[in-house]
Structure 1
């Protein structure tokens, strides 16, 4: 059956939101202090440097491994990462935006740290602990299982529309993690154990078609950013 030859995923470079969340968490604050809506959070200066480093990695790929299509989340931090990275590549590749690659919707929890969630939504905090991270859906938001549904749709379309293609997707940490779940057929306990290790900004994860399926080659690699 025709299918993708390569699937490459990267998380966006460090964003101003990443910086703000870390600072708020270290202070024990309830709110992140992020003023933009999630879709409009830009890269930090360090994130732009990381995106250029990703671009140098893309430029060094052998011709037979270079992406033939780039997909990006519509969120600004991902689109900026794709643009900066591709400016480093000595070859042209079409770029498409796909909303199925957007970050997980946090619903009423958006703008809050874990301290804020526990203080302002104690019943939901308890409910999340009971249901578990994978299936819990915050009010107005998405569960990890919801991400799996949209990713199954995305990858089914890519297999049909890009047979033999090499696709690079620029997205978010939860998308990278749940791609492993979907592509590798993992279980809930397996993916929650994998998720304990944070996904690096501009890290690279790759799968290659080998016989009947996409097989993992490397995951969450940041050696190209050294």
Structure 2
């Protein structure tokens, strides 16, 4: 007998990071590279991001019971988002870091804007234009298809370890899109169409509920816990421009 999925699976994007702010600044100035001297996994939340994470506590506080587990990307911006939100809500739940929830690896294109990629790696810009966002894998990096494989493996483990229980995940924009791809059985074209029109906001909540042994989408990109003036949706990277 195959184990059931979790009763609810809630997937949350991390709050605004210093990387999001640096990305916005680089794009606005037409710069080739983000002004960041840290590894991507070490980038902290911005001041606004800390405020957003605290506001996410209202969502945690509204749960009928604490989740069985909070699975978190090991990247600092995701870890801190979960910690701040849970502290604000007074929520006690085990937090486990899972590297399968990390940001997509950008390889040689890390920290480069579209301008920088075209200037320094024109062959990669051409390859991406030909292969498309889903299948292009930069040297030393990952394609979206690679991240989808991570998501599939994680979902298998969730069935084994958290059947009929409530699970919360804190992760990154591309990973959330690939949960949509896998759970909703989207085609490449459908996923790219969704991505072209939906920018997942920082701390946005996406929830699946178990029905007939399948996880069904109940809400997507919900930011009801955030005031409009505190809602942001910048990409973590500009390597994959829309």
Given the two structures, how large is their TM-score scaled by the length of structure 1?
Answer: 0.97
The reply on whether 1:25 has 2:33 as its aligned counterpart is: no
2-structure distance, mates of 1:99, 1:219 = 23
Unaligned runs of 5+ in 2: 228-242
Tell me, what secondary structure is at the counterpart of 2:180? helix
Q: Which residue of 2 aligns with 1:4?
A: 6
Query: Whole-Å Cα distance in 2 between the matches of residues 159 and 115 of structure 1?
Result: 43
Corresponding residue of 1:51? 53
Alignment deviations for residues 174-194 of structure 1 (CA, whole Å, 9 cap, x no partner): 011100001111110111111
Residue 163 of structure 1: CA displacement?
Answer: 1.0
Quote the offset at 1:139 in angstroms.
Answer: 0.8
Normalised to the residue count of structure 2, the TM-score between the two structures is: 0.90
- Gap regions ≥5 residues in structure 1: none
Write out aligned runs for 1:52-201 (5 A).
52-63=54-65, 66-196=66-196, 197-201=198-202
Q: Point out 4+ residue stretches in structure 1 off by more than 6 angstroms.
A: none
Count residues in correspondence.
224
* Distance in 1 of aligned mates of 2:12 and 2:129: 29
CA distance in 2, matches of 1:177, 1:72: 16
Residues 110-152 of structure 1, C-alpha deviations (whole Å, 9 max, x = no match):
0111110011111110111001000000111000000000110
Pairing 1:209–2:210 present: yes
TM-fit CA distance, 1:21:
0.6
Quote the residue 2:223 is aligned against.
222
Question: SS state of the match for residue 112, structure 1?
Answer: coil
Tell me the CA shift for residue 208 of structure 1. 0.3
